[in-house]
Amino acid sequence: MGQKNGIEKTWWKESVVYQIYPRSYQDSNKDGIGDLQGIIKRLPYLQWLGVDVIWLSPIYKSPNDDNGYDISEYRDIMTEFGTMEDFDLLLTEAHKHDLKIMLDLVVNHSSDEHAWFVESRKSTDNPYRDYYIWREGKEGKEPNNWGGSFGGSAWKYDEATNMYFLHTFSPKQPDLNWDNPVLRDEVFKMMSWWLDKGVDGFRMDVINMISKVPGLPDGNQEGRLYGDFTPYVMNGPHVHEYLQEMNQKVLSKYDVITVGEAPAVTVEEAKQYVGFDSGELNMVFEFEHMCVDEGQYGKWTKLPLDLVKLKEILTKWQTGLDGIGWNSLYWNNHDQPRIVSRWGNDGEYHNKSAKMLGTCLHMMQGTPYIYQGEEIGMTNVDFTSIDQFRDIECLNQYDDFVNKIGMDKEEAFARIKKSSRDNARTPMQWDSSVNGGFSEGAPWIEVNPNYTDINVEAQKEDKNSILHFYKNLIKYRKDHEIVVYGSYELLLADDPNVFAYKRSLGEQTLYVLCNFTDQSVDVEIPGYEEDKNQLVIHNDTEWTKGTLRPYEARVYLV
């Protein structure tokens, strides 16, 4: 495809990815659980929207301790979602609609119900023993002080062999031992099996956690219930070696898209993961920008947004990887509360702020990811009772807050409500019929009652809707190489209200101005005199030179 701005042109750099959380997308058989046939039914919608790739959160056989992120059979489909025939049909139909399919690869851990683990726990000399990470206890206690990501210790005692196994997530998600070459080959074979079927790539779950520091040293426990494993698990000693091996043995043989989820990754580290010459991955999901509003209780504290800090972080990623590697661009996924409620405004300025956030993200350099419902501005949920939550992470956290830390229940509930992953997991809002058109049965998690106002059908009919705006953002990227390959430069770095930047490609410049507040603010762009004739994207009906109205977003092409 040639080069542009010193960057090799590839289809995945020019793509927009749409993430589906299958459990909550579309139910086809009235059991209240989304499924593969449901997704097939919605393919024409996705083609109409203009996205290129669908990332499916896990669809494999699973006991659903963590909604499919605990896999018990990598070559089979979750019973509730359908059959392998349904999957094959989905793949064929997607391709017919010009949509590629990217699977979620969850190989830092499996389910404890996976046959490998069932064998592994039987005896110390079982052939599968070294597929997992087993250690002796220390003075009758866990092998080290690490806490699991979903609360409690990261170790579980197993009677059969009187030893502990490591689980960095729930006890039903034992960590696989990537230091074992036999395990690595099993994973690589499984990946090739799916790629040979015709899938177009992988999103790799917590892939930067697969190599643990030998000796598994205790983590820092200051002010915490358990020690922090981060320095000994994230970006470990052999992670690049293993990813290069994966690339040589599998990925390099196919023309695929890859993105690795990488909590706690820095730009410097990312250059190795996604460098154009590294032979590892296309992109990573970094977390720095998503953590900018964290406080005392980590993600369970949401501080007001510090826009200057957010700009600094995103700019560091934009300029740090320019010409060296490729960025992913995201505000939302199945683990994050809804962006319009978080950094926009889900009341009076719902429409405008959702469009502003979309503009700000989609005009940057990188591959944008849209999470289901983001394109209609789906919001957080006004949960009123702990019984409405389903997610293991937030339920365990609530328990820790109340029973271990002694926080009062109201405060604990308020924290869960704001940050729970369930905010993102309520059913897709298709229309104003019962359950938002998601299911005629009782949904596994309640539909957000605002589906009567916020839904696809209503927005499809309204040219001024968030949905049409997203469709245009996608189209604009397709029609303008500057959006894909142009270089990025931050403007007005110290402005606490406006996110402004420019993109440059050859003779062309794109100016992007986004007001992140509910107030009117004055702006002056250095080096450019605002000209209404050059306005190419705008989320408002009025235009005043030098002033942005609440949540106004403008893009000028010069």
Per annotation, catalytic residue among 70, 175, 205, 552: 205
Per-residue binder mask for ligand GLC (CB under 6 A), 130-169, x = binder: ---------------------------------------x
Regarding 80 and contact with ligand GLC (CB under 6 A), the answer is no
Q: Which does 205 bind (CB under 5 to 8 A by kind): Ca ion, ligand GLC, none?
A: ligand GLC
Distance CA 223, CA 214 (A): 25
Q: Which does 35 bind (CB under 5 to 8 A by kind): ligand GLC, Ca ion, none?
A: Ca ion
Q: Are strands 201-204 and 257-261 parallel, antiparallel or unpaired?
A: parallel
Distance CA 341, CA 337 (A): 8
- Whole-angstrom CA distances from 529 to 396, 523, 524, 557 are 54, 11, 8, 12
For residue 187, the one-letter residue type is V
Cβ neighbors of 65 (< 8 A, separation 6 or more) are 111, 170, 172, 173, 392
Beta carbon of residue 149, minimum distance to ligand GLC (angstroms, whole number): 7
Which single residue brings its beta carbon nearest to ligand GLC?
69
Query: Of 35, 175, 293, 335, which lies in the binding site for ligand GLC, with binding defined by CB under 6 A?
Result: 335
366 phi, psi to nearest 5 deg: 145, 180
Query: Of 90, 199, 206, 521, which lies in the binding site for ligand GLC, with binding defined by CB under 6 A?
Result: 206
Per annotation, catalytic residue among 52, 175, 261, 393: 261
Q: Is 261 a catalytic residue?
A: yes
Distance CA 280, CA 242 (A): 9
Q: Which does 195 bind (CB under 5 to 8 A by kind): Ca ion, ligand GLC, none?
A: none
Distance CA 194, CA 411 (A): 45
Regarding 205 and contact with ligand GLC (CB under 6 A), the answer is yes
Beta carbon of residue 239, minimum distance to ligand GLC (angstroms, whole number): 16
Q: Which does 286 bind (CB under 5 to 8 A by kind): ligand GLC, Ca ion, none?
A: none
Instruction: Write out the two tokens for 346.
Output: 């889900």
Q: Are strands 60-61 and 487-491 parallel, antiparallel or unpaired?
A: unpaired
Regarding 284 and contact with ligand GLC (CB under 6 A), the answer is no
Nearer to ligand GLC, 154 or 484 (CB): 154
Instruction: Write out the two tokens for 508.
Output: 């062309």
- With CB under 6 A as the rule, give the number of residues binding ligand GLC: 9
Regarding 262 and contact with ligand GLC (CB under 6 A), the answer is no
CA 459, chain centre distance (Å): 24
448, 414, 150: which is closest to 302 by C-alpha? 414
Q: Which does 106 bind (CB under 5 to 8 A by kind): Ca ion, ligand GLC, none?
A: ligand GLC
For residue 354, the one-letter residue type is A
Q: Is 205 a catalytic residue?
A: yes
Beta carbon of residue 126, minimum distance to ligand GLC (angstroms, whole number): 25
CA 512, chain centre distance (Å): 24
Nearer to ligand GLC, 394 or 525 (CB): 394
Work out the angle between the directed axes of helices 409-419 and 392-399 (0-180°, nearest 10).
Answer: 160
Beta carbon of residue 261, minimum distance to ligand GLC (angstroms, whole number): 6
Which single residue brings its beta carbon nearest to Ca ion?
35
- Whole-angstrom CA distances from 151 to 8, 67, 167, 498 are 44, 17, 11, 38
Per-residue binder mask for ligand GLC (CB under 6 A), 52-71, x = binder: --------------x--x--
Q: Which H or E run includes 359?
A: helix 350-362
Which residues make up the interface to ligand GLC (CB under 6 A)? 66, 69, 106, 169, 205-206, 261, 334-335
Catalytically annotated residues: 205, 261
